[in-house]
Structure 1
Amino acid sequence: MGGSEPRPSEGSFDLIGVVRAARQGDEQAWGLLVGEYGPRVFALARSRLRDPDMAEEVTQSVFATIAIKLREGTYDEHGKFEPWLFRIAMNRVRDVIRKAKRERAEGRLRLAASAEAVADALADDRATPEAIEGLRAVVEDLSGPDREIIELRYHAGLSFRQIADLLEEPVGTLLARHHRALRKLRAMLEKEPPAVGLAADRPKHAGESG
């Protein structure tokens, strides 16, 4: 093997010659590059991302970039193909990680905004079944009677008269309990809005008073 180009694996192929042939559009040479380096790029991406699907996407993206640069003649890292390839791979991995962090941050903001909107609705007793359904995990943190009135009213869709008949309690008592339960939900949302949907992982507040 000529030049300073490192050998990818002992006795495999003349890397400089393969890269040169791939630049000229030789599909067999391109297949050799992908076969030699594809698994290594994938392993690197998977170790950093811990997601085989994302690692596969990164690998495909890296080799798409390599193909374009080789065939357009923009590759000029003579004698340094491996560092060049893995620099592209690492940059792509970092891009994915940054994007994932940004999406998580945006998701938290959307969740907080959604929680705030629901909290406002709860404050005005304008809660809808859809809104309550989205707060199922938070509802689980309510005490037994409060959780029961929310579930019967919004999950089961019963009227207060039907709930009164079912529980054999006065409608006025149930209305007061319902109002108290909504106040508690709103307070829980205002205290931990980003945790909506993850409340099952938090300690129960069964003894919490209104």
Structure 2
Amino acid sequence: MSATGPVLRGLTAVPSLPDQRDVPNGATASPAPDELLRRIALGDERAFEMLYDSFAGRVFGLARRIVRNPSQAEEVAQEVFLEIWRRASRFDAARGSATSWVMTLTHARSVDRVRSAQASADRELKVAYASHEVEIDSVVEAVESSFERKAVQKCLTTLTDLQRESITLAYYSGYTYREVAELLTTPLPTIKTRLRDGMIRLRDCLGVEA
């Protein structure tokens, strides 16, 4: 079977958005996302289906909040899962969680879609973040408007794992501070502290004036 086979079959479920939280009686729990990505990298179609079941709702939801158009959000979701199937081998658990990796891919694809339709950089940022209830400070605005993505990614590697994951989820994947704390099973005050310290280190690395 071709590499796109399981992807195309699975993605037909995107428009209907079934409730992924409902687990039939007697069903076994899905392996951790990290393990599923490892299996997908080896061509495991069942692992891909399980990952899709776990993330379809979240991927579509984030894409829709950013691109604002349901049809385009469906297309973005398809692109994301196709990319996961093709690039699962590039996932590195040492650099962050599977959830962070998947949602970062979703954010990047969604913003790319917005950029293809909007010529103004200011408009891009407004569309990408208008519906997010996230505290975006002047450092994030300066980073987004003044530096290329590669420079930001390079500086992210200088942060601690918790700082990097917290910033990725809060500022690039659209989660609130409280949601980040829940995803990383870390107290909210600790998340806020790591975000503040991480943004200071990012600012210094990128040379952004306070």
Q: By the TM > 0.5 criterion, same fold?
A: no
TM-score by length of structure 1 reads: 0.40
TM-score by length of structure 2 reads: 0.40
Mark the structure with the bigger radius of gyration: 1
